[in-house]
Amino acid sequence: RGGRGELGPGPGAPPDTCVQATHTHWPELRDCNVGKRGCKLLSTLLRENWSLTHLDLGLNPIAAGLWFLCDALRNPNFQLKYLGLWGCSLTPLHCQELASALVSNQTLETLDLGQNALGLSGVTVLLEALRDSSGPLRTLRLKMDAWNAKVQEVLREVKESNPGLTLDSAVGTKAPSCCQFFFSTP
């Protein structure tokens, strides 16, 4: 169980809101100031066969702790089906670790990476990993500022090799709300 410094609430939230949320099956840890230490705690819980199936960490500064979450993703006891990392300041540097974790994961069905600056190189790394993966991921949400020829080619290959995978992308747009930023890819 984390304290306020580990999984503390966001501005204006009641003091124990985010901490108590970790004990439900669908915690809302969005904008709760979850950082590296909180990611380490969550990783430990997720690796210990915790029954959590949905986790929304959107709008948290998790970039420094992403390695811990990816380590949990690789664990066979990992049970998450949905992981929301919307607006978590992730960059192309984080995509190789995420790609590696996605390839070995056997339960995650939806990964929301919207409103992160993954760049063309980061998106390409993720798509190349998914092209060669037969994992359970069915929905990948991300934000792209532009599509180049290489990304379009890898995207076509991913759709051919993994027809059950849906790629949702907000191309060059800002999300009006956390729920209205999805556009189907071409």
Domain membership flag for residue 176 = no
Instruction: Provide long-range contacts, Cβ within 8 A and 24+ apart, for 8-13.
Output: 8/32, 8/33, 9/33, 10/59
pLDDT in tens, 65-118: 999 999 999 998 888 999 999 999 999 999 999 999 999 999 999 999 999 999
Domain membership flag for residue 58 = yes
pLDDT in tens, 152-176: 888 889 989 888 899 888 654 443 3
Domain membership flag for residue 160 = yes
pLDDT in tens, 140-154: 998 876 778 888 888
Per the structure, how many domains does the chain have?
A: 1
Nearest by Cα to 10 from 68, 77, 59: 59
For the chain, the helix, strand and coil percentages under 3-state DSSP, each to the nearest 5? 40, 15, 50
Predicted pLDDT of residue 25? 54
Over residues 53-63, the mean pLDDT reads 95
Expressed as residue numbers, the domain containing 162 is: 4-171
CATH (domain of 73): 3.80.10.10
Predicted pLDDT of residue 169? 81
pTM over 0.75: yes
